[in-house]
Structure 1
Amino acid sequence: MLKFGSRGDSNIVHKCTVRLLEDTEILECEYKPHSKGKYLLDYVCQQLNLVEQDYLGLRYVDINEQRHWLDLGKSIAKQVKDLDPVLFSFRIKFYPPDPFKVKEEITRYQLFLQVKRDLLHGRLYCVPNEAAQLAAYIVQWELGDHDPEIHYGNYVSDLRILIKQTEAIEEKAMEIHQKQLKGQTPEQMENMFMKLAAQLDTYGIDPHSVKDHKSSQLYLGINYSGILTIQGSKKTHHFRWLDIQKINYEGKMFIIHLNYNDKKHTVGFKCPTGAACRHVWRCAMEQMLFFTLNKSSDAPIVSGGGFFSWGTKFKYTGRTEKEIREDTNSPDREEPNIQRTASLRRKASSVPATPSTPLQPHLGYNNLTRSSHSDAGGSRMEPCSSSGLCSGLDGQIYADVAGLETVCEDQEGSGMTKLRTTVLKDDSMDRFSDYYFRDSFEHSSSESQLNLASFGRSSVYEPTTARSSRSQTPLLSHSTVDGRACVPNNHGAAKAAPTTPRGGRRFNVVKAFVPSFVIVTTLVLASTIVLMESESDALTGLRATPEINSLRYQVYEPLKQYIRAIWARLFS
């Protein structure tokens, strides 16, 4: 197959940074212009010694602050072409309904880290008793058995476990830690934590901010069971995949077509932007296909937009959950060792500047960087300051012209000024902003019944015209120099790649002119047919002009007869 591009493209190497589930760890990776997304995910999983990759993914945020999952079947460079530096976040993309059916413990450990992160950043919503129980498991996992000589006072307050960590919850967590969990190992704590967390309604969801038909703010959560709506601190509706017939969008409106109790319903939710709406639609489609298809080969090429929704089609890649469960071939290797390291006392690591412009192939980078490492540069572990970089919850990062310094995650909501010179964001920009515990909130593991009548008639949307804990791992088979992984240099220095303006979106010729061309062509054809076929007296004078007569007998009539002949042959 012919590939267009410079012969020197094979020498160009791009650099990116991948943040792992523990923010104290990052990977610095390289990819070439034609490398697909799967190449980067394979590389990260190899570094983490993971072979069960089906549940995993990489997220990034574009220059318009919109989140995306890296498409494994498309070129990395094309997906992040406007980003400089390039920052990915390694995350669980598909949360398994039963975490204990995941085959390898090292994969379940990554899932534990993700759900622990969800609890910290407000995505795993639970009532106070559940929060205290989960917190106690994490305390035992972090600190081990209670020792009165070491653990005195409110020792839980030193740990960042919950987004809203009240004294009452801390006291309850300490009581459970001291009286119920003595002798429990970290592995047992992980299992107990996951067993409780997997029962919660908000397990495995990434909240998307939307508005309903009353313009009320709420969140859509999408996971293995379907699409949930969450308002305030309560789950209001649950649209199951079995009841959903179709998902599409129009502009900013995300639309769910339901068949519930043998009746068809259409419910719409308004997203903040068109790009956010497309992201919600794509996330919903991927989750639905992953958890409902028998095999990935059954996945069609789907498009959720209207006629003028260019670039919205996608083909599902990877295996489905059913294929994973039916795969009886266990990984042919010994169970890898897992390094568990207490992490909640530590700040996030320094994330270095990671330019996406091509680098010379002979330059290498440390494959794994930790905050505990010291180097010549001496990355400092210090609080966020106005002259450096801070991240909000779940890694919302702001950098000024001085470059990237320290990453921390405890500043969102503090009213700090967002520095817009360079904006990098982690994978979770949506969260439950009004997250707090209410005693009146029903037990979060209970199922609320779908009541479409509560939406009211106005909710039925009629389309109109108008988101240091790793295993000991081998490195990839690159040559190494001074501990750095290197890519062989076959042709000398790499060519510099053209830079892309970062002030806004690129002007897209197709999106700008094709819709106009189609509309104008349709109007011209319709007007010509009306003029030639109509017997209206108002058009008699116009039809009698020499130009129209010439057009009629030299072009229109021959074309008309040709179409009639084709039609007759096809249907005779």
Structure 2
Amino acid sequence: MSARFRLPSAKSYNVRASELERERSHTQAVCNVLLLDNTVHAFKVNKSDHGQVLLELVFKHLELTERDYFGLHLNDDTSDTPRWLDPNKPIRKQLKRGSPHNLSFRVKFFVSEPSKLQEEYTRYQYFLQIKQDILTGRLPCPHNTAALLASYAYVYLLSGLTPAQAEFQYLNTARTLDLYGVELHWARDQSQTEILLGVQSVGILVFKNRVRINYFAWLKIVKISFKCKQFFIQLRKETSESRETLLGFHMGNYRACKNLWKSCVEHHTFFRLERPLPPQKNFFSHYFTLGSKFRYCGRTEVQSVQYGKEKGIKDRVFARSPSKPLCRKLVSGTDWDSVSRNSLSDERLETQSLPNRSPPGTPNQNVFVINCLKSL
């Protein structure tokens, strides 16, 4: 006969509960995401989840409708190249071991016109991003333009402009900056001279000694590819040329090279195509080739604009962060010195022969600057 025993209520140890907690700690990852209002929010995901799961958690937390313009930037101190969380790959393959992990919520694709953003809330997120980029030196800005932008960031408190109107004017002015929407990657040319390759909505740019020396529009590019640390751009043959031109660039390592290639694939697909091309299409693999199955699978700009028109919440109510400290920093000479030191080249990047991209209907600059300075 088997005897029955009553477990004592005290002096017990739940082994199974401890084991389950241990298993959860090994399968879960805590991701601290820095949002554009400078707040940090922690999200818990399973390491086996794909990046899209974490993205959806962040979008849901922000109640963001127009989502495809944004992404999660991986804050990896050992990498000198931009890295984005891939929504189609497991999180455990993209983040380093250990927890918590630090990521930044950022604008990934910068539209050419703020009117393409259907929601005021989306434009506000853009506004926070550009404001942050100027302060950190990521987006170099001339002093007079900085003062004008600072006035937009604060002037609605002094005049009849609503916050939404001021932010729209802010974005309309910021889009004329030379490096607006440019994702920069360190590289070297064939003579081993240090350069910067910039990926933008309209194509690929080359900077040398803080000056833009070349620009390749997507229409002129036949193919982009990479092999090990070599990144290649194959250009269309001009009427005066006998064959196509192949340009090669040296990247710091394989990871940096692949990140640049992926950025080109994403920007071309998002801005130039009406919809992402399926992987089985042969002409897609002909355009972007060599050693990777990566494809951009989100909405394109055309699809995002249409989705915003259909699903956007035009009368959304939300709270804004204070703008006054930014205005003071932007028009202060001392703070501008620190901004310059934080820029990619320690000095403002300049460009040559750029077209005039002044926004239409920009108010008199001096009036806005004077109003801003009077308010400080």
Q: Which runs of 5+ in 1 are unaligned?
A: 1-5, 146-181, 347-409, 415-430, 448-572
Q: CA deviation at 1:277?
A: 1.2
Larger Rg: 1
Find the residue that maps to 2:104 and give its secondary structure.
strand
Note if contact 1:226-1:288 (Cα within 8 Å) is conserved in structure 2.
yes
Q: CA deviation at 1:412?
A: 10
Change (3 A) 1:121 1:269: farther
- Measure the CA separation in 2 of the matches of 1:83 and 1:287: 32
Do structure 1's residue 434 and structure 2's residue 346 form an aligned pair?
A: yes
Match of residue 231, structure 1, among 190, 197, 208 = 208
- Measure the CA separation in 1 of the matches of 2:64 and 2:164: 18
Q: CA deviation at 1:26?
A: 0.9
> Size of the alignment, in residue pairs?
317
Match of residue 339, structure 1, among 315, 319, 324 = 319
Find the residue that maps to 1:339 and give its secondary structure.
coil
- Measure the CA separation in 1 of the matches of 2:305 and 2:312: 17
Q: CA deviation at 1:210?
A: 1.5
TM-score normalized with structure 1 length: 0.50
Do structure 1's residue 197 and structure 2's residue 174 form an aligned pair?
A: yes
Match of residue 33, structure 1, among 47, 53, 74 = 47
Superposed CA deviations along residues 370-424 of structure 1, whole A, max 9, x for unmatched, are: xxxxxxxxxxxxxxxxxxxxxxxxxxxxxxxxxxxxxxxx79969xxxxxxxxxx
Q: CA deviation at 1:81?
A: 4.5
Match of residue 259, structure 1, among 236, 253, 258 = 236
Match of residue 316, structure 1, among 296, 301, 308 = 296
Note if contact 2:225-2:233 (Cα within 8 Å) is conserved in structure 1.
yes
Find the residue that maps to 2:109 and give its secondary structure.
coil
Q: What aligned pairs does 1:56-135 form with structure 2 within 5 A after superposition?
A: 56-62=70-76, 64-65=78-79, 67-135=82-150
Change (3 A) 1:328 1:124: closer
Q: CA deviation at 1:194?
A: 0.8
TM-score normalized with structure 2 length: 0.74
Note if contact 2:118-2:305 (Cα within 8 Å) is conserved in structure 1.
no
Match of residue 275, structure 2, among 283, 295, 299 = 295
Change (3 A) 1:325 1:334: closer
Amino acid corresponding to residue 47 of structure 1 in structure 2: H
Find the residue that maps to 1:322 and give its secondary structure.
helix
Q: CA deviation at 1:19?
A: 0.5
Identity among equivalent positions (%) equals 32
Change (3 A) 1:241 1:344: farther
Q: CA deviation at 1:235?
A: 2.1
Q: CA deviation at 1:103?
A: 1.1
Q: CA deviation at 1:344?
A: 6.5
Q: Which residue of structure 2 aligns with residue 549 of structure 1?
A: none
Superposed CA deviations along residues 88-110 of structure 1, whole A, max 9, x for unmatched, are: 11011111122211111101111
Q: Which residue of structure 2 aligns with residue 240 of structure 1?
A: 217
Amino acid corresponding to residue 89 of structure 1 in structure 2: S
Amino acid corresponding to residue 204 of structure 1 in structure 2: G
Amino acid corresponding to residue 208 of structure 1 in structure 2: H
Q: CA deviation at 1:345?
A: 3.6
Note if contact 2:65-2:308 (Cα within 8 Å) is conserved in structure 1.
no
- Measure the CA separation in 2 of the matches of 1:89 and 1:120: 16
Amino acid corresponding to residue 22 of structure 1 in structure 2: D
Q: CA deviation at 1:317?
A: 1.5
- Measure the CA separation in 2 of the matches of 1:130 and 1:33: 44
- Measure the CA separation in 1 of the matches of 2:210 and 2:324: 26
Q: CA deviation at 1:71?
A: 0.9
| Worse-superposed segment, 334-343 or 267-276 | 334-343
Superposed CA deviations along residues 64-123 of structure 1, whole A, max 9, x for unmatched, are: 425421111122223214354311110111111222111111011111111222222333
Change (3 A) 1:86 1:327: closer
Q: CA deviation at 1:319?
A: 1.3
- Measure the CA separation in 1 of the matches of 2:309 and 2:172: 25
- Measure the CA separation in 2 of the matches of 1:328 and 1:342: 27
Q: Which runs of 5+ in 2 are unaligned?
A: 1-19, 327-337, 358-376
CA RMSD of aligned residues (A): 3.1
Do structure 1's residue 211 and structure 2's residue 188 form an aligned pair?
A: yes
Q: CA deviation at 1:48?
A: 1.1
Change (3 A) 1:236 1:130: farther
Q: CA deviation at 1:257?
A: 0.8
Amino acid corresponding to residue 36 of structure 2 in structure 1: L
